[in-house]
Amino acid sequence: MNILAQRVRDERDLKVLELLDAGLSQQAVADRLGITRGPIVKLVTDIRKDEEAQP
């Protein structure tokens, strides 16, 4: 993945996390960002895996 594509993805992921933190459901976040719920589920799953891996 090139640097620009990674930056766009990072910004989208940050926005997703901000909206989830504000109390929106995964579906509401997807609707607001005009994407499917799949990337949101993957992001949340990856974060949970990372948290579980930390001592």
Interval 21-38: pLDDT, tens:
999 999 999 999 999 999
Write out pLDDT tens, residues 37-50: 999 999 999 888 88
- Would the pTM count as exceeding 0.85? no
- How far apart are alpha carbons 20 and 30 in whole angstroms? 10
CATH number for the domain that contains residue 33 = 1.10.10.10
The sign of the dihedral angle between the CA atoms of 29, 40, 43, 8 is negative
Domain that includes residue 42, residue range: 3-53
- Determine the pLDDT at residue 50: 85
Query: How many structural domains are present in the chain?
Result: 1
**Res 9: pLDDT:** 85
Q: What is the mean pLDDT of residues 4-30?
A: 92
